[in-house]
Structure 1
Amino acid sequence: MKSLEERYLERLSELYPTIAAASTEVINLEAILNLPKGTENFLTDIHGEYEAFNHVLKNGSGSVRRKIDDVFGNTLSRKDKQTLATLIYYPEEKMRLILQDEENVEDWYKITLYRLIEVARRASSKYTRSKVRKALPKEFAYVLEELLIERGDDQDKESYYDSIIATIIRVGRAREFIVALSELIQRLVIDHLHIVGDIYDRGPGPHLILDKLMNYHSVDIQWGNHDVVWMGAAAGQIGCICNVIRICARYGNMDILEDGYGINMLPLATYAVNTYDGDPCTCFSLKGNNTNDPKEKEINLKIHKAVSILQWKAEGQIIMRHPEFHMENRNLLHRVNFETGTIDLDGKTYKMLDMNFPTVDPKNPYAFTPQEAEIIDRLQHAFMSCEKLQQHMKFLLAKGSLYKVYNDNLLYHGCVPLNPDGSFRKVSIYGETYQGRALFDALENWIRKGFVSLDKKEREMGRDIMWWIWLNPDSPLFGKTKMATFERYYLAEKETHEEKKTPYYTLYEKEEVVDNILREFGLNPVGAHIINGHVPVKTKNGESPIKCGGKLLVIDGGFSRAYQKETGIAGYTLIYNSYGLILAAHDPFESTEAAIVNESDIHSDRMVVARVARRKRVADTDTGKDLQEKIADLEKLLEAYRSGHIAEKFTK
């Protein structure tokens, strides 16, 4: 019987049937190892802000502007550079504006095409010809390859290049060629994109962000707590569904559900209006609003209150169904004294701000009324049968995970549960105890079971664990002692609203703790980093995103408009190129229209977090390690060919 290695080499010989073929591939791979590493871009806590996200994606967190500066230096004015950058971001829209006032259109086309070709050449310079070829739009692939790969300073071909440009203009394809070049530059400045959690909630366009990511050339996603609650909702978990609708209502984003996903909210709206007729719902004021219609605003307030009550009932049932979750202290409806209008919490009595609970039975407060049960069934069916939502969830499952180790960086959204002494906290999940990396692995396994397990009970357990991840103090995606939603709505006393952070957030400045986390996930603390999101960095208060001397980076700086008053900025992004790690702090994004008309790019303050002593090559990356293993396999194949153990295939 042949050994495993022999069978593997025989399979490999089918791909490389001759000594020449295997040798050529070794030469190609060795050459690739010596190219500069591709640029990685890290974004987190996008929270539905599609326009700002789309702009940062188009400008590569400032990478496009850096390429323009590299190419043109002082030979172009600041104004011309900004116009060129805006053209690359929004080629069709910007070109339309420019050509309205341009007297000599042919000259503008010629100058612009030459400038874009130079920027595209610089952006493609660190990639193989094969990789660039794959990125080229099919319509212009041959011509673009000629212009980009060949050197334009070759005097023998100068007239050849001039002729190509002149012909592009003469045949009326300059517009389309400029769009193709601009999109190619956007594609080449970022080799790989990392989304470190929280695509959903607060902002109006998470569905648009998912659509964009599904077409992105290379991306991975680390799920955030707001992503997991949507995943739970898509899987049919009632507590998650209610949380998703409540947050949409609170931020005035019901359009996400109705227009973005086509989920019918009319039954819930009708129920809410009838149940809370005459109730001003003052405790359920909206944090955002997409309408000036008083009637629509009133309906949203009532939906907000109705689904909140449904949420607390659903969560109460989950908690009673799973005593092993140890969340009895978050069941609060039965603590309300409906006669005195008060509630007892932690030995104190507080006055409730609202006592209109027409659907709550004080003797059985967590039971749904028949009408509520019907609403819940319809919502569950709507979420589970929504084709677009399920498509987005499949993408999140395929490209996502709770953490990722990539090129000596550990990426996760929230935290690693720790004890006050810095040791890994032991967490019980369905009777099994986990800590550190094993906890992440177990939870991710349960999330996937919630979607695909053939065992009905196991699938339900997986769905319930998604709700647990959303708000349990031991969850690595939550990191607080409680989610005080009920208290924030119903009690005036600020002391009841406090959500204390878990020990991770006081210990992540300690090097021994961070080093221990890195080792737990298989990384050498020397040169490795943790990339973290979840908790907004309040830059205006002097807080720094750089923790533990640069070993841990918190890059949530307020992409969401709802956070920007707290943070003072509009988010951090991180760039990891062949020279090191660069952190960019972005000013708020005004609008796409302003970016096009006024050329108001997002201003970014940049700081170098870590600069490498020697420029990083592909050989220094995870991809490089895979290529080195492939080279070793090919060299074994060559040895087998030359020793006669495997015969070369006959090829014509």
Structure 2
Amino acid sequence: MVVEKEKYLSLLSKEYPTIAETVTEIINLEAIMNLPKATEHFISDLHGEYEAVQHVLRNGSGNIKEKIKEIFQGRLSTKEMNQLATIVYYPNKKISLIVSELETPEEIEEFYMLTTTRITELCAFVVSKYTRSKVRKSLPPDYAYIIEELLFKDNTTSNKDDYYDKIIKTVISLDRGKQLIVAFAYVIQRLVVDHIHVVGDIYDRGPAPDKIIDTLMDGHELDIQWGNHDVLWMGAASGSPACMANVIRISARYNNLEIIEDAYGISLRSLMLFSEMNYPEDRYQPFLPKIDPDSEEKIYPEEIRQIAKMNQAISIIQFKLEGQIIQRQPEFNMTERLLLDKINHDKGTITIDGKDYPLICDYFPTIDPANPYELTKEEEIVVARLTEGFLNSERLHKHIQFLYSKGSMYLTYNDNLLFHGCVPLNEDLSFMEMTINKKNYKGKALLDKYEDILRKGYLNRHRGLSYQRYLDYIWYQWEGEASSLFGKDKMTTFERLYVSDKTTHKEKKNTYYKERDNLQVCNQILEEFGLDPQKGHIVNGHTPVQERHGEDPLKADGKLIVIDGGFSKAYQPTTGLAGYTLLYNSYGMQLVSHQPFTSVEDAVANEIDIVSTRRIVDKELKRKLVRETDVGARLTNRVNDLQDLLEAYQDGILVERIKK
């Protein structure tokens, strides 16, 4: 151990080669640990709703407007504060609109002077809890010097007032006033929250998950807890035909096939031709896509018919592929989900749990009753081509690799436990077990094993059938009973498409969802993941909160927080709102509920912000410092190492490297 320590200190000395540099860094880190804890921003279930998600990220769940009020209340009117907020959210569009309405050069100059002064003051307030070094790293290179000069000006003396005024006036005279304000706006957006937690489900339902990921890749420090819809896309990118079929079916269902074809460049031509050839009859009513009534894009009846047929074709392929997995993986205990062999083709019925039900659609041209789970030769070709497309989409893999690099099944962070769905429980409240390779896993160990499988499945995606088992387990995360991401006894996709009797559509939720309002259960889960129940919280997404029907997102006296309020438009009629987010700063936790977002155009032109309501979840008795966080723990370890390095220099064990 002594030798290893000396080796480590020798390596550390290359970064801090002198006593002076070592002492400086110790002082710097100790100072940082006495700053207020930075703001964490929790969001979940984004479901491709790019514009609404982007707005919430831009306004920091209403945090920017709160800071504007804190600084300018009594100094600016409500209209002026709203205008400043909109400039921060959408600086390019809002400034262009304002300037276009001004009549003289003098008015334009006055606007730029006034706005630059105000946004500088706002930015200085936002960055006040950070070190200069951290702020400097967040500045856009083109305007870093100017912004830094204005942010850190000396307010105790008026000797340099003319100097600062001249900077702003010169920028404006050179026709760069707009660019400077835009730069300030992006610094504010970047630093109004320090860290984002995305608690799952970026993909599916909405039109632009790819744009959301591009935004996340280009912004804040963040982490992602994978959701069931994310894992479906991760499985498709890993080469799982069953995951791929589900991805296409859901995209067709929500009229979002453009995500696959345009955003990721994956051709669906083979599926389109196959569906036209094999499903010529107009018997596709259950497969009609959901059309967004607010969409301005015109969709023609022929296009709707084509999407429905593609949905019909890929659904049958999906059921066949899933049946094959269930047959070769007895550990999944899913034989009751083998339904294609329960179809009575002569009578047009299906037997489920010993009872016969009439089928809405009894047209199955590609199913062989003698071998219902076998793909036809044509279906095999379609599956091969589609799978190849998912395996070779460069942009898709850029996004999936980002999900893997920033993501995990769960996260413990600053005493809180974050996961998308549930920790599967039995009815007696014990942790549900899953047998994998003849070994039983439960609780934290089960989620760790699932993550290991997901990573190995993706890393070995080009090894073919030798890694089929990993792909099967990735699909199991989508609809397996012991999956922490699914959390139900079964997924009744077939019944919802083919059987009108809604009693067959029921999916029993895992015991976790009935008991998550139980403080004892929440404490049990926190302890399982090594957290102190007295300090910790559980943060979940996955299940839309039925606020319209009186459901409370705070469970177990605030110990568990559900932040899926429904960004997805498909959920909003049921939930009655458009999303929950959570803020955790040095003063405590606040739950923020949001009303539906209208449009960027409305936000810019009419300064219509998302109406957000804040609710205190947990209030710190004293303001929390960086020292008391996970970052503080890492910095403390760093300081201890630097103190050991300092002693090594002082004791002559290591020699300073004095620069010439």
- Displacement of 1:512 in angstroms is 1.3
Whether 1:477 and 2:485 are equivalent positions in the alignment is yes
- Displacement of 1:274 in angstroms is 2.0
Deviates further, 456-465 or 96-105: 456-465
Counterpart among 491, 499, 507 of residue 515 in structure 2: 507
- Displacement of 1:110 in angstroms is 0.4
AA partner of residue 366 (structure 1) = Y
Whether 1:105 and 2:146 are equivalent positions in the alignment is no
2:172 corresponds to: 169
Aligned counterparts of 1:115 and 1:348: Cα–Cα separation in 2? 70
Aligned counterparts of 2:162 and 2:428: Cα–Cα separation in 1? 72
- Displacement of 1:153 in angstroms is 5.3
1:18 corresponds to: 18
**1:233-277 CA deviation, whole Å, 9 max, x = no partner?**
111101101100000000011111111111111111111122111
AA partner of residue 565 (structure 2) = G
Asked whether the 8 Å contact 1:448–1:462 carries over to 2, the reply is no
- Displacement of 1:317 in angstroms is 1.0
- Displacement of 1:651 in angstroms is 2.1
For 1:584, what is the secondary structure of its paired residue?
A: strand
Counterpart among 344, 348, 362 of residue 341 in structure 1: 348
Whether 1:566 and 2:574 are equivalent positions in the alignment is yes
2:66 corresponds to: 66
Asked whether the 8 Å contact 1:575–1:582 carries over to 2, the reply is yes
- Displacement of 1:72 in angstroms is 0.5
2:536 corresponds to: 528
1:296-311 alignment runs, 5 A limit: 296-311=303-318
Deviates further, 575-584 or 11-20: 11-20
Unaligned runs of 5+ in 1: none
Aligned counterparts of 2:379 and 2:180: Cα–Cα separation in 1? 57
2:496 corresponds to: 488
Query: When the two structures are superposed, what TM-score results if normalisation uses the length of structure 1?
Result: 0.98
Aligned counterparts of 2:466 and 2:645: Cα–Cα separation in 1? 46
Query: When the two structures are superposed, what TM-score results if normalisation uses the length of structure 2?
Result: 0.97
1:350 corresponds to: 357
Aligned counterparts of 1:465 and 1:408: Cα–Cα separation in 2? 30
2:655 corresponds to: 647
2:52 corresponds to: 52
For 1:573, what is the secondary structure of its paired residue?
A: strand
1:442 corresponds to: 449
**1:57-79 CA deviation, whole Å, 9 max, x = no partner?**
11011111111111101211111
- Displacement of 1:320 in angstroms is 1.1
**1:79-108 CA deviation, whole Å, 9 max, x = no partner?**
111111111111110111101111310000
1:359 corresponds to: 366
**1:263-313 CA deviation, whole Å, 9 max, x = no partner?**
111111111122111223012122235642111011011111111011001
Whether 1:555 and 2:572 are equivalent positions in the alignment is no
2:80 corresponds to: 80
Counterpart among 386, 401, 409 of residue 416 in structure 2: 409
- Displacement of 1:458 in angstroms is 5.8
CA RMSD of aligned residues (A): 1.3
- Displacement of 1:182 in angstroms is 0.7
- Displacement of 1:13 in angstroms is 1.5
1:57-456 alignment runs, 5 A limit: 57-103=57-103, 104-152=107-155, 154-288=157-291, 291-453=298-460
Asked whether the 8 Å contact 2:237–2:458 carries over to 1, the reply is no
Deviates further, 192-201 or 451-460: 451-460
AA partner of residue 329 (structure 1) = E
Provide closer, same or farther for how the CA distance between residues 580 and 2 of structure 1 changes in structure 2, counting only shifts above 3 A: closer
Aligned counterparts of 1:571 and 1:600: Cα–Cα separation in 2? 17
Aligned counterparts of 1:85 and 1:337: Cα–Cα separation in 2? 62
AA partner of residue 316 (structure 2) = I
Aligned counterparts of 1:455 and 1:260: Cα–Cα separation in 2? 26
For 1:141, what is the secondary structure of its paired residue?
A: helix
Asked whether the 8 Å contact 1:452–1:459 carries over to 2, the reply is no
Aligned counterparts of 1:266 and 1:513: Cα–Cα separation in 2? 50
- Displacement of 1:316 in angstroms is 0.8
Aligned counterparts of 2:2 and 2:223: Cα–Cα separation in 1? 38
1:43 corresponds to: 43
AA partner of residue 488 (structure 2) = K
AA partner of residue 151 (structure 2) = L
Asked whether the 8 Å contact 1:570–1:585 carries over to 2, the reply is yes
Asked whether the 8 Å contact 2:565–2:579 carries over to 1, the reply is yes
- Displacement of 1:362 in angstroms is 0.7
Provide closer, same or farther for how the CA distance between residues 110 and 153 of structure 1 changes in structure 2, counting only shifts above 3 A: farther
Aligned counterparts of 2:128 and 2:100: Cα–Cα separation in 1? 34
1:615 corresponds to: 623
**1:520-565 CA deviation, whole Å, 9 max, x = no partner?**
1110001110010000000010101000001100100000000000
Aligned counterparts of 2:96 and 2:314: Cα–Cα separation in 1? 46
AA partner of residue 414 (structure 2) = N
- Displacement of 1:163 in angstroms is 1.1
AA partner of residue 126 (structure 2) = A
Question: Identity, % of aligned pairs?
Answer: 50
AA partner of residue 65 (structure 1) = K
Asked whether the 8 Å contact 2:288–2:307 carries over to 1, the reply is no
Deviates further, 494-503 or 151-160: 151-160
For 1:3, what is the secondary structure of its paired residue?
A: helix
Asked whether the 8 Å contact 1:451–1:459 carries over to 2, the reply is no
Deviates further, 177-186 or 447-456: 447-456
For 2:204, what is the secondary structure of its paired residue?
A: coil
Whether 1:598 and 2:601 are equivalent positions in the alignment is no
- Displacement of 1:467 in angstroms is 0.4
For 2:310, what is the secondary structure of its paired residue?
A: helix
AA partner of residue 361 (structure 2) = D
Asked whether the 8 Å contact 1:291–1:297 carries over to 2, the reply is no
Deviates further, 5-14 or 48-57: 5-14
**1:601-635 CA deviation, whole Å, 9 max, x = no partner?**
10101101001011111101111001011111111
Aligned counterparts of 1:31 and 1:557: Cα–Cα separation in 2? 39
Asked whether the 8 Å contact 2:349–2:356 carries over to 1, the reply is yes
- Displacement of 1:2 in angstroms is 6.2
Aligned counterparts of 1:595 and 1:234: Cα–Cα separation in 2? 36
Asked whether the 8 Å contact 1:578–1:617 carries over to 2, the reply is yes
- Displacement of 1:457 in angstroms is 5.5
Counterpart among 635, 641, 647 of residue 627 in structure 1: 635
**1:31-75 CA deviation, whole Å, 9 max, x = no partner?**
000001111100000000001011111101111111111110121
AA partner of residue 108 (structure 2) = V
Provide closer, same or farther for how the CA distance between residues 36 and 458 of structure 1 changes in structure 2, counting only shifts above 3 A: farther
- Displacement of 1:455 in angstroms is 6.6
AA partner of residue 487 (structure 1) = E
Asked whether the 8 Å contact 2:577–2:595 carries over to 1, the reply is yes
AA partner of residue 616 (structure 2) = V
AA partner of residue 74 (structure 1) = G
Asked whether the 8 Å contact 1:446–1:461 carries over to 2, the reply is no
Asked whether the 8 Å contact 2:283–2:361 carries over to 1, the reply is no
1:34 corresponds to: 34
Aligned counterparts of 1:27 and 1:166: Cα–Cα separation in 2? 38
Aligned counterparts of 1:80 and 1:331: Cα–Cα separation in 2? 63
- Displacement of 1:331 in angstroms is 1.1
For 2:517, what is the secondary structure of its paired residue?
A: coil
